[in-house]
Amino acid sequence: MMKGMRIRRRRRREDSWKRTVNRRDDTIYKRVANVIVFSVPIAVICLVANVIMRMKDVYSYSLSASGIIGATTVSTSEDELLGLITNFMTGKTDEFALMENSEFDPEQIFSVLDQQAMTDARHVLDIMLMIGVVMLVLSVVAYWLLIRWRVREIFMKRFKVCVGVFAVLEILNILTVCIAPLRAATWGLLIPMEFPDGDNLVLLLSDAFPRQVVMFEAIAGVFAMLLIGYLTWNVAGRRKMFRRF
Protein backbone atom coordinates (compact mmCIF):
# COMPACT_ATOMS: atom_id res chain seq x y z
CA MET A 1 0.00 0.00 0.00
CA MET A 2 2.81 2.39 0.92
CA LYS A 3 4.53 1.55 -2.35
CA GLY A 4 1.35 2.39 -4.28
CA MET A 5 1.05 5.75 -2.53
CA ARG A 6 4.67 6.60 -3.35
CA ILE A 7 4.06 5.74 -7.01
CA ARG A 8 0.96 7.95 -7.13
CA ARG A 9 2.80 10.88 -5.50
CA ARG A 10 5.67 10.50 -7.96
CA ARG A 11 3.25 10.49 -10.89
CA ARG A 12 1.52 13.61 -9.57
CA ARG A 13 4.88 15.39 -9.30
CA GLU A 14 5.78 14.31 -12.82
CA ASP A 15 2.41 15.50 -14.20
CA SER A 16 2.82 18.82 -12.40
CA TRP A 17 6.31 19.24 -13.84
CA LYS A 18 5.08 18.43 -17.36
CA ARG A 19 2.28 21.00 -17.10
CA THR A 20 4.78 23.63 -15.93
CA VAL A 21 7.14 22.83 -18.80
CA ASN A 22 4.26 22.97 -21.31
CA ARG A 23 3.19 26.38 -20.01
CA ARG A 24 6.76 27.62 -20.33
CA ASP A 25 6.99 26.20 -23.85
CA ASP A 26 3.72 27.89 -24.84
CA THR A 27 5.08 31.19 -23.59
CA ILE A 28 8.22 30.80 -25.70
CA TYR A 29 6.16 29.78 -28.74
CA LYS A 30 3.90 32.80 -28.39
CA ARG A 31 6.78 35.21 -27.91
CA VAL A 32 8.50 33.97 -31.05
CA ALA A 33 5.20 34.02 -32.96
CA ASN A 34 4.66 37.62 -31.83
CA VAL A 35 7.79 38.59 -33.77
CA ILE A 36 6.11 37.94 -37.13
CA VAL A 37 3.16 40.16 -36.20
CA PHE A 38 5.33 43.22 -36.81
CA SER A 39 8.47 41.95 -38.55
CA VAL A 40 6.66 40.64 -41.64
CA PRO A 41 4.56 43.77 -42.43
CA ILE A 42 7.44 46.14 -41.69
CA ALA A 43 9.78 44.09 -43.90
CA VAL A 44 7.24 44.07 -46.74
CA ILE A 45 6.53 47.81 -46.56
CA CYS A 46 10.19 48.84 -46.31
CA LEU A 47 11.48 46.51 -49.01
CA VAL A 48 8.61 47.21 -51.42
CA ALA A 49 9.14 50.96 -51.00
CA ASN A 50 12.80 50.51 -51.95
CA VAL A 51 11.97 48.49 -55.04
CA ILE A 52 9.30 50.94 -56.22
CA MET A 53 11.25 54.14 -55.56
CA ARG A 54 14.38 52.83 -57.29
CA MET A 55 12.55 51.38 -60.31
CA LYS A 56 12.86 53.16 -63.63
CA ASP A 57 9.40 52.09 -64.81
CA VAL A 58 7.69 54.06 -62.02
CA TYR A 59 9.25 57.33 -63.12
CA SER A 60 8.64 56.47 -66.76
CA TYR A 61 4.95 55.92 -66.02
CA SER A 62 4.70 59.24 -64.19
CA LEU A 63 6.34 61.18 -67.02
CA SER A 64 4.25 59.44 -69.68
CA ALA A 65 1.01 59.93 -67.76
CA SER A 66 1.61 63.65 -67.31
CA GLY A 67 3.07 64.26 -70.78
CA ILE A 68 5.09 67.02 -69.17
CA ILE A 69 8.27 66.53 -71.22
CA GLY A 70 6.56 67.66 -74.43
CA ALA A 71 4.64 70.47 -72.74
CA THR A 72 7.46 72.09 -70.77
CA THR A 73 10.23 74.43 -71.85
CA VAL A 74 12.84 72.34 -70.00
CA SER A 75 15.33 71.25 -72.64
CA THR A 76 15.97 67.58 -71.94
CA SER A 77 14.82 64.17 -73.11
CA GLU A 78 12.86 61.58 -71.17
CA ASP A 79 15.68 59.04 -71.47
CA GLU A 80 18.22 61.47 -69.99
CA LEU A 81 15.91 62.36 -67.13
CA LEU A 82 15.06 58.73 -66.38
CA GLY A 83 18.72 57.78 -66.52
CA LEU A 84 19.66 60.50 -64.03
CA ILE A 85 16.89 59.66 -61.56
CA THR A 86 17.40 55.89 -61.58
CA ASN A 87 21.21 56.16 -61.45
CA PHE A 88 20.94 58.52 -58.50
CA MET A 89 18.33 56.52 -56.60
CA THR A 90 20.25 53.27 -57.07
CA GLY A 91 23.49 54.86 -55.88
CA LYS A 92 25.33 54.76 -59.20
CA THR A 93 25.94 58.49 -58.93
CA ASP A 94 25.91 60.93 -56.01
CA GLU A 95 25.29 64.03 -58.10
CA PHE A 96 21.74 64.88 -59.05
CA ALA A 97 22.54 67.27 -61.87
CA LEU A 98 21.52 67.55 -65.50
CA MET A 99 22.46 70.21 -68.04
CA GLU A 100 20.02 71.54 -70.60
CA ASN A 101 20.30 70.34 -74.18
CA SER A 102 21.02 73.81 -75.49
CA GLU A 103 23.92 75.15 -77.53
CA PHE A 104 23.43 78.66 -76.18
CA ASP A 105 24.22 79.18 -72.49
CA PRO A 106 22.98 75.80 -71.11
CA GLU A 107 21.99 75.80 -67.44
CA GLN A 108 21.49 73.24 -64.73
CA ILE A 109 17.93 71.93 -64.81
CA PHE A 110 17.75 71.13 -61.10
CA SER A 111 18.45 73.46 -58.22
CA VAL A 112 20.43 72.89 -55.02
CA LEU A 113 17.12 72.34 -53.21
CA ASP A 114 16.20 69.63 -55.73
CA GLN A 115 19.55 67.93 -55.10
CA GLN A 116 18.96 68.08 -51.34
CA ALA A 117 15.43 66.70 -51.65
CA MET A 118 16.56 63.74 -53.75
CA THR A 119 19.53 63.10 -51.44
CA ASP A 120 17.25 63.06 -48.41
CA ALA A 121 14.80 60.77 -50.20
CA ARG A 122 17.59 58.31 -51.02
CA HIS A 123 18.86 58.49 -47.44
CA VAL A 124 15.39 57.65 -46.11
CA LEU A 125 15.20 54.73 -48.54
CA ASP A 126 18.61 53.48 -47.38
CA ILE A 127 17.42 53.51 -43.75
CA MET A 128 14.21 51.73 -44.73
CA LEU A 129 16.26 49.15 -46.61
CA MET A 130 18.34 48.39 -43.52
CA ILE A 131 15.21 48.14 -41.38
CA GLY A 132 13.56 45.91 -43.98
CA VAL A 133 16.54 43.54 -44.12
CA VAL A 134 16.68 43.26 -40.31
CA MET A 135 12.94 42.56 -40.16
CA LEU A 136 13.27 40.01 -42.95
CA VAL A 137 15.99 38.14 -41.06
CA LEU A 138 13.89 38.17 -37.88
CA SER A 139 10.90 36.87 -39.85
CA VAL A 140 12.90 34.03 -41.41
CA VAL A 141 14.29 32.98 -38.02
CA ALA A 142 10.84 33.12 -36.40
CA TYR A 143 9.31 31.10 -39.26
CA TRP A 144 12.05 28.48 -39.01
CA LEU A 145 11.56 28.07 -35.25
CA LEU A 146 7.76 27.90 -35.48
CA ILE A 147 7.94 25.32 -38.26
CA ARG A 148 10.42 23.22 -36.29
CA TRP A 149 8.27 23.42 -33.16
CA ARG A 150 5.13 22.52 -35.17
CA VAL A 151 2.91 24.96 -33.25
CA ARG A 152 0.36 25.28 -36.04
CA GLU A 153 -2.45 27.00 -34.14
CA ILE A 154 -0.23 29.67 -32.58
CA PHE A 155 1.51 30.24 -35.93
CA MET A 156 -1.71 30.81 -37.89
CA LYS A 157 -3.30 33.02 -35.22
CA ARG A 158 -0.30 35.34 -35.18
CA PHE A 159 -0.11 35.45 -38.97
CA LYS A 160 -3.76 36.58 -39.15
CA VAL A 161 -2.90 39.40 -36.75
CA CYS A 162 0.13 40.15 -38.92
CA VAL A 163 -2.16 40.66 -41.94
CA GLY A 164 -4.25 43.11 -39.93
CA VAL A 165 -1.15 45.05 -38.88
CA PHE A 166 -0.04 45.25 -42.51
CA ALA A 167 -3.43 46.61 -43.55
CA VAL A 168 -3.34 49.30 -40.85
CA LEU A 169 0.23 50.36 -41.71
CA GLU A 170 -0.56 50.45 -45.44
CA ILE A 171 -3.65 52.59 -44.86
CA LEU A 172 -1.63 54.99 -42.70
CA ASN A 173 1.02 55.17 -45.42
CA ILE A 174 -1.59 56.00 -48.05
CA LEU A 175 -3.17 58.68 -45.88
CA THR A 176 0.13 60.36 -45.00
CA VAL A 177 1.04 60.57 -48.68
CA CYS A 178 -2.31 61.52 -50.22
CA ILE A 179 -3.40 64.09 -47.61
CA ALA A 180 -1.19 67.17 -47.95
CA PRO A 181 -1.22 68.32 -44.28
CA LEU A 182 -0.36 64.80 -43.10
CA ARG A 183 2.36 64.53 -45.74
CA ALA A 184 3.91 67.78 -44.57
CA ALA A 185 3.68 66.71 -40.91
CA THR A 186 5.31 63.31 -41.50
CA TRP A 187 7.42 63.03 -44.64
CA GLY A 188 8.05 66.77 -44.51
CA LEU A 189 10.20 66.20 -41.43
CA LEU A 190 12.54 64.00 -43.49
CA ILE A 191 12.38 65.41 -47.02
CA PRO A 192 12.02 69.07 -48.12
CA MET A 193 8.45 69.71 -49.23
CA GLU A 194 8.49 73.45 -49.87
CA PHE A 195 9.68 74.33 -53.37
CA PRO A 196 9.57 77.68 -55.19
CA ASP A 197 7.04 78.23 -57.94
CA GLY A 198 8.20 76.80 -61.24
CA ASP A 199 10.68 74.38 -59.66
CA ASN A 200 11.72 71.90 -62.34
CA LEU A 201 11.71 68.81 -60.10
CA VAL A 202 8.12 69.44 -59.05
CA LEU A 203 7.18 70.38 -62.61
CA LEU A 204 8.63 67.22 -64.15
CA LEU A 205 7.42 64.71 -61.57
CA SER A 206 4.10 66.55 -61.03
CA ASP A 207 1.90 66.66 -57.93
CA ALA A 208 0.44 63.26 -58.81
CA PHE A 209 3.79 61.48 -58.42
CA PRO A 210 3.51 60.76 -54.65
CA ARG A 211 0.02 59.31 -55.13
CA GLN A 212 1.23 57.16 -58.02
CA VAL A 213 4.13 55.85 -55.94
CA VAL A 214 1.97 54.95 -52.96
CA MET A 215 -0.50 53.24 -55.32
CA PHE A 216 2.28 51.06 -56.75
CA GLU A 217 3.57 50.36 -53.23
CA ALA A 218 0.13 49.28 -52.05
CA ILE A 219 -0.41 46.96 -55.03
CA ALA A 220 3.06 45.41 -54.72
CA GLY A 221 2.68 45.11 -50.94
CA VAL A 222 -0.65 43.28 -51.25
CA PHE A 223 0.83 40.85 -53.77
CA ALA A 224 3.81 40.27 -51.46
CA MET A 225 1.51 39.54 -48.51
CA LEU A 226 -0.59 37.20 -50.64
CA LEU A 227 2.55 35.28 -51.59
CA ILE A 228 3.70 35.13 -47.96
CA GLY A 229 0.20 34.06 -46.92
CA TYR A 230 0.22 31.26 -49.49
CA LEU A 231 3.61 30.03 -48.31
CA THR A 232 2.56 30.31 -44.66
CA TRP A 233 -0.60 28.31 -45.30
CA ASN A 234 1.43 25.60 -46.99
CA VAL A 235 3.71 25.19 -43.97
CA ALA A 236 1.39 26.16 -41.12
CA GLY A 237 -2.14 25.76 -42.39
CA ARG A 238 -1.90 22.12 -43.34
CA ARG A 239 -1.40 19.64 -40.55
CA LYS A 240 0.52 17.23 -42.74
CA MET A 241 3.33 19.77 -43.06
CA PHE A 242 3.94 19.58 -39.32
CA ARG A 243 5.11 16.01 -39.29
CA ARG A 244 8.62 15.33 -38.13
CA PHE A 245 11.21 16.71 -40.57
Which amino acid appears at position 181 of this protein? P
What 8-state DSSP symbol labels residue 101?
Answer: S
The answer on pLDDT for 219 being more than 50 is yes
The answer on pLDDT for 10 being more than 80 is no
Run of H or E including 87: helix 78-89
What 8-state DSSP symbol labels residue 235?
Answer: I
Is the CB of residue 46 less than 8 Å from the CB of residue 132?
A: yes
The dihedral formed by the CA atoms of 140, 142, 147 and 148, expressed in degrees to the nearest 10 = 110
Calpha distance 150→87 (Å, rounded):
46
The answer on pLDDT for 15 being more than 60 is no
Look at residue 68 in the predicted model and tell me its pLDDT. Answer: 65
Bridge partner residues of 36 (DSSP): none
Rounded (5°) CA angle 208-214-216: 100
Look up the pTM and report it. Answer: 0.82
Mean pLDDT of 128-154: 92
Report the mean per-residue pLDDT for the chain. Answer: 81
The answer on pLDDT for 93 being more than 90 is no
What 8-state DSSP symbol labels residue 108?
Answer: B
Alpha carbons within 13 A on the beta-carbon side of 164: 7
What 8-state DSSP symbol labels residue 112?
Answer: H
Higher pLDDT, 224 or 186: 224
Bridge partner residues of 99 (DSSP): 108
Q: What is the tens place of the pLDDT at every residue in 178-191?
A: 888 888 788 777 77
Output the CA torsion sign for 76, 78, 83, 85: positive
Look at residue 240 in the predicted model and tell me its pLDDT. Answer: 46
The answer on pLDDT for 3 being more than 50 is no
The answer on pLDDT for 21 being more than 70 is no
Q: What is the tens place of the pLDDT at every residue in 134-145?
A: 999 999 999 999
Is the CB of residue 98 less than 8 Å from the CB of residue 89?
A: no
Calpha distance 183→154 (Å, rounded):
37
Look at residue 69 in the predicted model and tell me its pLDDT. Answer: 63
Q: Which of 109-113, 163-167, 185-189 has the lowest mean pLDDT?
A: 185-189
Confidence of residue 41 (pLDDT cuts 50, 70, 90): very high
Confidence of residue 64 (pLDDT cuts 50, 70, 90): confident
Output the CA torsion sign for 25, 29, 30, 31: positive
- Cα 234 from chain centroid (whole Å): 23
